[in-house]
């Protein structure tokens, strides 16, 4: 595996590759990533909604092993996920590229992820595969998410992306496919079990609840959840983690 210092340098190198990609490539890889996160999340929902009573926690725990498959697909097959791409600020802190292209990349990836998540919502709806229990679980979960206070949603977003950004970050240390998968899965498993807020996962879940008949408005989706959660995700993944590791391993180490 790479050393912690080498991982910091690798993160900057990967960031440079991400911010210099063609816009069309960024959008397509972001659409795929939005779909993959939704697919992983739906797997979690099936397991979590299928176990009740004293087995409810077991369902959530098993689901937490399935949820990270979306991130694994992105990391191994290639893709741009907003919460993972927050790490591209590391290269900016290291003076390798400017803030303008960081913001442009994150904006394009956010839009692409949203398109991918909504495309999956449409496919899932047309598939008619969602059982009554799963449907009720999705609506109940989504309604809780849109009724969080602004501060709650921001804080949960920060906690989530400290872990998701770390999952992506430590996956860069692996030199084999198995080591990269294990590294990526463990922090995500922790975030899912803990119940933090992931903006891209919510782009799938909350619109899915709306099309299934949940009493949720577009305003609630965008401003009660996605806005504060995204702010939190940016603080956790673009500031706290990359700034700390830049200071530890790259600042004045050239």
- Mean pLDDT of successive 10-residue stretches along the chain, which has 254 residues: 97 98 98 98 96 88 97 98 98 98 98 98 98 97 98 98 98 97 97 97 98 98 98 98 98 74
> Token pair for residue 20?
């210099």
For residues 135 and 139, what is the distance between their CA atoms, to the nearest angstrom? 6
pLDDT for position 31:
98
Cβ neighbours around 184 below 10 Å, total? 27
Structure tokens at 112: 């692409």
Who's near 153: CB < 8 A, 6+ residues apart? 145, 197, 224, 225, 228, 229, 232
Number of H helices, E strands in the chain: 14, 0
The full set of domain ranges for the chain reads 4-249
> Which one, of 89, 236, 248, lies nearest residue 167 by Cα?
236
Position 55 scores a pLDDT of 86
**Gap between the Cα atoms of 140 and 123, Å rounded:** 21
Architecture of domain 4-249: Up-down Bundle (1.20)
Q: How high is the pLDDT of residue 51?
A: 87
pLDDT at 254: 55
The CB density around residue 244, as the number of other CB atoms within 10 Å, is 11
């Amino acid at each position: 595996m790479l050393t912690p210092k080498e991982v910091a340098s690798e993160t900057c190198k990967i960031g440079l590759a991400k911010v210099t990609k063609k816009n069309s490539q960024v959008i397509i890889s972001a659409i795929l990533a939005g779909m993959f996160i939704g697919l992983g999340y739906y797997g979690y929902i099936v397991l979590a909604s299928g176990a009740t009573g004293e087995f409810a926690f077991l369902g959530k725990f098993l689901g937490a092993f399935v949820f990270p498959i979306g991130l694994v697909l992105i990391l191994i097959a290639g893709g741009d996920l907003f919460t993972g791409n927050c790490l591209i600020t590391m290269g900016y802190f290291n003076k390798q590229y400017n803030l303008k292209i960081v913001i442009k990349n994150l904006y394009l990836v956010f839009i692409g992820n949203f398109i991918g998540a909504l495309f999956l919502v449409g496919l899932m709806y047309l598939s008619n595969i969602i059982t009554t229990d799963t449907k009720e679980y999705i609506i109940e979960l989504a309604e809780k998410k849109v009724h969080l206070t602004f501060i709650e949603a921001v804080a949960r977003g920060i906690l989530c992306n400290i872990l998701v950004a770390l999952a992506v970050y430590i996956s860069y240390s692996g030199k084999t496919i198995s080591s990269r998968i294990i590294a990526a899965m463990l922090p995500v498993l922790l975030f899912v079990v803990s119940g933090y807020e992931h903006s891209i996962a919510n782009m799938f879940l909350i619109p899915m609840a709306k099309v299934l008949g949940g009493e949720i408005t577009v305003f609630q989706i965008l401003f009660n959840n996605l806005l504060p959660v995204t702010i939190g995700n940016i603080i956790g993944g673009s500031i706290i983690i990359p700034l700390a590791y830049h200071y530890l391993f790259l600042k004045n180490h050239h």
